[in-house]
Amino acid sequence: MAHVLQFRHALALVALAALLIFWTQAGYFGMEILAEIAVFAILAMSLDLAAGYAGLVSLGHAALFGFGAYMFALFTVLWGWPASLAVVLATLATGAIALIVGAVVTRVQGVFFIVITLAIGEMGYEFFFKNRALGGDDGLSGISRLDLSAIGVDLNDPGIFALFLIVVAAITYLLLVRLLASPYGAVLTGLHDNPGRMRALGLPVRTYQTSIFAFSGALAGFAGTLSAQHTQFITPNLLHWTTSGEVLVMVILGGLGTLVGPVIGAVVLTLLRHELSNVTDYWGFWLGFFLILIVLGGKNGIVGWLAAGWNALRGARPDDDQAADEPAEGEEASDAAR
């Protein structure tokens, strides 16, 4: 396992270096894309925590993301609170909501879990869509960014803001790596691989699932506050299930349960989206085509392919990285790179 983790950390380092090199070269548009990538990387990592590690594949994650964004906007624009306080409170509020939702939704598993998170997410979408005080479907504008002028950082500069978000994403990655290396992280992996055995071991499975759902939700809400500061304008579309789907695609494209995979997925999907839409109006088709190719390959997303390639180069047997446990039902693909 150790060298697998090393490989992933190396990938993360490469991704960070690539983003930073891009940052030195990027124009105004590049900065916008970098900021978008960083926000989605954090959101995708939070979803990976729930879906990839704890096996809670949520199709309502964007609702938590959007909820965080709306809370931030509510606190700053409507109530006039300072942005720094609003980031913390919006994150906590989203975590609290996710805790309540998590306590309900973890009662069911598998496809039922996907459907119930989808339904609850759509409730959130409809709420903000119809809420006139928060702008309804026309959205809410006038959101300002964190004021870091005390330490000489002007976040209103697009370049500085993009760099700030990349740094925040990198710190988030490191914290999550630390979390996953802890006994708590080991429990998560166990829950994903075989919840039945974990229950037999006497573990309060649902409590753990609820707690990780809440933590993942809080992180999604935090990404939402960053997204609101990035575009300085929010609409209920942030909460829509299609956004959830897009983030899930990022996670799967990059590699489910690898933490670095979602980051790479966010980079690739965001870049493809912007670059392809310049080339063709039918960019959605080619994006889907590319995704199918990656997933049909039977490896765990881009990270899985890279790992296989790396192993081939080292001349190691491809089976070296397989975990000793039998893969959980229906999750074979995600275990290929484990």
Partner 1 sequence: MKRRTALALATAVGVALTGGLAAAEEYKVGVLLPFSGVYAGLGAHIENGFKLGLEHFGADLGDNTITTIRADTEANPGSTLAKSKKMVLQDKADVLVGIVSSAVLGGMRDFIHNSGTPLVVANAGNNDMTGVKCSPNIIRVSFSNAQINRPMGTWLAKQGKKKVYLMAPDYAAGHQMMEAFRKTFTEAGGEIIGEAYPPLQGTKDYGPYLTAAKATNPDAIYVFFAGGAAITFVKQYHGFGIGKDIPLYGAGFLTSAAYVHVQGEAADGTVASLHYVPAIDTPENKRFQEGYQAAYEGKLGSEFAVQGYDAARLIIEAIKASGGDKAAFKAALSKVSFSGPRGPLRIDPATNNVVQNIYVFKNEFKDGKIVQTVLDTATDVQDAPNGCAM
Kindly list the residues in this chain that would bind partner 1 in the complex (CB under 8 A): 27-29, 32-33, 36, 126, 129-130, 135-139, 141-142, 158, 227, 230-233, 235, 237, 273-274, 277-278, 281-284
Measured CA to CA, the distance from residue 322 to residue 336 in angstroms comes to: 6
In contact, 137 and 235? CB cutoff 8 Å: yes
Measured from the CB atom, the residue of 126 and 325 that comes closer to partner 1 is 126
CA atoms within 13 A on the CB side of 162: 23
Closest to 71 in 3D by CA, of 282, 316, 272, 239: 239
The DSSP-derived string for 52-66 is IIS----S-HHHHHH
Measured from the CB atom, the residue of 231 and 322 that comes closer to partner 1 is 231
Indicate the angle between helix axes 28-48 and 241-254, nearest 10 degrees.
Answer: 80
Measured from the CB atom, the residue of 192 and 230 that comes closer to partner 1 is 230
Q: How far is the CB of 206 from partner 1 (least distance, A)?
A: 32
Q: How far is the CB of 292 from partner 1 (least distance, A)?
A: 19
The pair of three-digit structure tokens given for residue 114, joined into one six-digit string: 């996907």
Q: How far is the CB of 72 from partner 1 (least distance, A)?
A: 15
Beta strand pairing status for 233-234 and 140-141? antiparallel
Measured from the CB atom, the residue of 118 and 179 that comes closer to partner 1 is 118
The pair of three-digit structure tokens given for residue 284, joined into one six-digit string: 């959605």
Q: How far is the CB of 270 from partner 1 (least distance, A)?
A: 9
Measured CA to CA, the distance from residue 86 to residue 88 in angstroms comes to: 5
Measured from the CB atom, the residue of 284 and 318 that comes closer to partner 1 is 284
The DSSP-derived string for 297-311 is TSSSHHHHHHHHHHH
Q: How far is the CB of 235 from partner 1 (least distance, A)?
A: 5
Measured from the CB atom, the residue of 141 and 182 that comes closer to partner 1 is 141
Q: How far is the CB of 282 from partner 1 (least distance, A)?
A: 7
- 153 phi and psi angles, rounded to 5 deg: -115, 125
